[in-house]
């Protein structure tokens, strides 16, 4: 997408903002920096989202694991706390659960971190189905395609996927071919809207 195409896309939401649900799988979004070579700012992300969804805070949803460290602490790690606070400050409804530390001999630190929120996202999409017509999903993970297909077939919900080019699952492209997904948008095209800078931290 070039800038005129992006502007046209954003303008198309002017009368749909109160009927659009935004699902941000931030654990997935964070991984995009590997290929983007830049970091997506939560503040900038929220500014973009305001062009797409306004009204109910519950329709702007931010999913991310709460990391208390590997020692069963009752305090969030500084990084995790900062992420949660930024999301709340930028008017996202935050959905979270505790990060699991799983022993792994292959990992240099001796453990892998896991906090999969796909079930929570799928249930929330179904639970809130009467409040929206359009889904904007910030994730290239194909695990939600089954839920998106159900919502499209039975409730005529239209879905747009927002991902990075090298982080978009095969299932996503297949779902677009079958028209389960209306379109795929790529973070690379939205760099000027999303890239972290000293002013957006």
Length of the chain as a residue count: 201
With 0-12 / 13-18 / 19 or more C-beta atoms within 10 angstroms meaning exposed / middle / buried, residue 185 is: middle
* pLDDT, tens digit (0-9, with 9 covering 90-100), for 22-39: 999 999 999 999 899 999
| pLDDT, tens only, 69-121 | 877 788 888 989 999 999 999 999 999 999 887 776 676 655 667 778 999 99
Position 111 scores a pLDDT of: 65
Cα 135 to Cα 182: distance, rounded to the nearest angstrom: 10
Q: What's the average model confidence in pLDDT over 137-146?
A: 96
> What is the structure's pLDDT at 127?
98
HEC letters along 8-30: HHHHCCCCCHHHEEEEEEHHHHH
How many other C-beta atoms lie within 10 A of the C-beta of residue 136?
Answer: 23
Which pLDDT value is given to residue 104? 63
Q: What's the confidence (pLDDT) of residue 46?
A: 96
Check pLDDT > 80 for residue 57.
yes
Both tokens of 48, joined, read 């973009």
- What pLDDT score does 199 carry? 44
Distance between CA atoms of residues 38 and 198, nearest Å: 13
Domains annotated on the chain, with CATH: 3-194 (3.40.50.1010)
Contact predicate 139/63, CB 8 Å: no
13 Cβ neighbours under 8 A, 6+ residues apart: 20, 51, 52, 53, 134
Across the chain, what does the average pLDDT equal?
91
The pTM score is 0.91
Task: Quote the distance between the C-alpha of residue 102 and its chain's center.
Answer: 24
pLDDT at residue 108 in the model: 62
Three-state SS at 57: helix
Q: What pLDDT sits at residue 110?
A: 59
């Amino acid at each position: 997408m070039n800038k005129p195409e992006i502007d046209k896309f954003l303008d198309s939401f002017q009368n749909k903002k109160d009927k659009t649900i935004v699902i941000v799988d931030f654990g997935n979004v964070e991984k995009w920096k590997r290929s983007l070579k830049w970091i997506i700012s939560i503040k900038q992300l929220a500014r973009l989202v305001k062009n797409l969804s306004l009204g109910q805070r519950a329709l702007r949803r931010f999913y991310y694991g709460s990391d208390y460290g590997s020692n069963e602490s009752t305090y969030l790690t500084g990084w995790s706390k900062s992420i949660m606070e930024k999301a709340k400050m930028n008017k996202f409804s935050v959905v979270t659960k505790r990060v699991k530390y799983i022993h792994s001999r292959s990992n240099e630190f001796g453990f892998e971190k896991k906090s999969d929120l796909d079930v929570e996202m799928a249930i929330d999409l179904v639970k809130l189905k009467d409040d929206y017509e359009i889904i904007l999903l910030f994730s290239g993970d194909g695990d939600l395609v089954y839920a998106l297909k159900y919502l499209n077939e039975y409730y005529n919900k239209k879905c747009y996927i927002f991902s990075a080019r090298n982080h978009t699952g095969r299932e996503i492209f297949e779902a677009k071919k079958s028209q389960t997904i209306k379109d795929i948008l790529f973070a690379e095209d939205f760099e000027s809207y999303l890239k972290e800078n000293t002013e957006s931290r």
